[in-house]
């Protein structure tokens, strides 16, 4: 009985992890969401002042939900206090699942601090790209839409 429950929970975790990995958006400078195709976007020009390596955190909510369900289910097998054990198991499972969800699909990223040609200073975080590399003092274009901005090198 317990073996079957554990196997079922492993399957649930596996399915949720696949869902999490498929649901993450890309934030690469060469990546455009389908709703942006054919839309007019604003292009701003500027110079990179500073680069900083950062991490885009994964989806904590899905991991927390999966952990709570599995923790509650496994812990509720306690014969003396199944409800209390289930609640405690769900809380512990949620905390553990949240951390796992955060790490499973985190992405290496870069924060670019840019001085625009109008002297305004902005900061944008985007995924590290295999296609583009950046350096301080480099001229870049910021492609800005209502939903998202991305930075690419600008060669005039």
pLDDT tens digits, one per residue of 11-60: 555 555 455 444 445 666 666 666 667 677 899 999 999 999 998 877 66
The whole-number pLDDT of residue 23 equals 45
How far apart (Å, rounded) are the C-alpha atoms in residues 61 and 79?
30
The whole-number pLDDT of residue 133 equals 92
pLDDT at residue 61 above 80?
no
Q: pTM (2 decimals)?
A: 0.55
Determine how many CB atoms are found less than 10 A away from the CB of residue 39.
11
H or E stretch at 28: none
pLDDT at residue 8 above 90?
no
Share of the chain above pLDDT 70, in %: 46
The whole-number pLDDT of residue 25 equals 59
- Which is higher by pLDDT, 151 or 33? 151
Q: Name the band, by pLDDT with cuts 50, 70 and 90, for residue 149.
A: confident
How far apart (Å, rounded) are the C-alpha atoms in residues 48 and 135?
7
Q: What is the mean pLDDT of residues 105-125?
A: 92
Residues 112 and 140: beta-carbon distance below 8 Å? yes
Structure tokens at 36: 């942006």
Give the residue from 131, 132, 147, 126 showing the smallest Cα distance to 39: 147
According to DSSP, the residues that pair with 125 across neighbouring strands are 111
How far apart (Å, rounded) are the C-alpha atoms in residues 151 and 123?
10
List, in order of start, the domains of the chain with CATH numbers: 1-26+59-104 (no CATH), 31-57+106-156 (2.40.50.100)
The whole-number pLDDT of residue 99 equals 59
């Amino acid at each position: 009985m317990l073996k079957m429950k554990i196997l079922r929970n492993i399957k649930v975790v596996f399915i949720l992890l696949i869902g999490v990995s498929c649901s993450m958006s890309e934030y690469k400078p060469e990546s455009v969401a389908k709703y942006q195709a054919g839309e007019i976007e604003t292009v701003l020009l500027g110079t990179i002042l500073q680069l900083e390596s950062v991490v885009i955190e994964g989806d904590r909510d899905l991991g927390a939900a999966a952990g709570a369900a599995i923790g509650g289910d496994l812990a509720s097998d306690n014969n003396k206090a199944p409800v209390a054990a289930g609640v405690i198991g769900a809380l512990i499972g949620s905390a553990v699942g949240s951390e796992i969800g955060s790490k499973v699909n985190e992405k290496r990223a870069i924060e670019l601090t840019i001085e625009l040609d109008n002297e305004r200073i902005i900061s944008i975080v985007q995924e590290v790209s295999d296609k583009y590399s950046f350096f301080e003092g480099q001229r870049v274009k910021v492609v800005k839409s209502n939903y998202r901005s991305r930075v690419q090198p600008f060669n005039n």
